[in-house]
Amino acid sequence: MRNRISARELFDQLHERLALRWLTSGQRGGERTLERGEQLTRRPSLAGYLNVIHPNKVQIIGAAELAWLDTLDARQRWETLEKIMGFDPMALVISQNQGCPQDLRSIAEETNTALWVSGRRGYELLNLLQYHMALALAPRISLHGVFMEIFSIGVLVTGESGVGKSELALELISRGHRLVADDAPEFTQIAPDVLDGTCPDMLQDMLEVRGLGVMNIRQMFGDTAVKRNKYLRLIVQLVKAVDNSGDAMARLTGESPSPARVLDLEVPVFQLPVAAGRNLAVLTEAAVRLHMLRVKGMDPAAAFLARHSSLLSLSQES
């Protein structure tokens, strides 16, 4: 996945919301980019107020910063501006539609640096730029499967090709659950413990089922049958059924392998064996309900084993 953003992309995405105007002629500096690997090696934040010690990639210049520049004599002022540009900022933003000093405009054009002015206050620019840039550069990955919302939980249905993921998704949709993405959902780690799943634009609202082809779920089932994004909380893995009748513990606790690691997070996994006569939609709903119980600290299998141990102890005492 592409984890970079250019100054022109940032401007195009935010110029209406932040009331941005490009000051340098010919929109110079628009090709400058910031990649995710670069932010990890830098001490400062992605965006912040003018800082010549630990510079930000997008430097916000407010009234206090302009007033500080005005306190410098001509030589110090030019040396300071050269130092700022020497750090190769992606862009400079002047807040509150303040007038841009001519020397700042000149050095921005000489160094091919994007220079913008905004009608927003400095703290508004800081909050929105930080959030937008952090989201654009957040770690992300594309996984194979069908991502759905089931009982308000984000569930990724995975399995080998042809195992029946799309057929299961179609039945779940007919039972009132919602589709987020088919085939290649994209997951972005937007917080230390949050994976946000979305659908690529190309696949939006689409579900492919063998024998039926590609279907538009929104057109067939209505707007309530699809959802734009959802946090990933559970993975349901469809596997070919095998005979585990000799494994009594597996029958008690279910087919629950170790959690799957997605980026920096571990996601619980349920394995559902696929065999003739098994209602996978009902089993998937039951898996989601069981996961919700476990999140609340209730484990039916553990409670049953504890009850069994208690009864054994009583029988031995008697």
Q: Is 183 a catalytic residue?
A: yes
Tokens (6 digits) for 79: 């040396």
Strand locations in 17-108 (E): 20-22, 33-35, 47-49, 58-61, 91-94
Q: Is 144 a catalytic residue?
A: yes
> Are the beta carbons of 272 and 236 closer than 8 angstroms?
yes
Residue that the structure tokens 């031995």 belong to: 316
Q: Is 196 a catalytic residue?
A: no
Burial class (CB in 10 A: 0-12, 13-18, 19+), 157: buried
Catalytic option among 251, 278, 289, 307: 251
Query: How far is it, in rounded angstroms, from Cα 34 to Cα 253?
Result: 48
> Are the beta carbons of 34 and 134 closer than 8 angstroms?
no
Catalytic option among 17, 54, 83, 144: 144
Residue 236's CB is within 10 A of a number of other CB atoms, namely: 26
Helix (H, G, I), strand (E, B) or coil at 36: helix
Q: What's the 3-state SS for 201-268?
A: HHHCCEEEECCCEEEEHHHHHCHHHECCEEEEEEEEEEEECCCCCCCHHHHHHCCCCCCEEECCEEEC
Catalytic option among 165, 227, 230, 291: 165
Catalytic option among 32, 140, 182, 183: 183
Query: How far is it, in rounded angstroms, from Cα 49 to Cα 96?
Result: 14
φ/ψ of residue 146, rounded to 5: -115, 125
Tokens (6 digits) for 74: 């001509």
Tokens (6 digits) for 311: 């009864």
Q: Is 177 a catalytic residue?
A: no
Which positions are catalytic? Answer: 144, 165, 183, 251
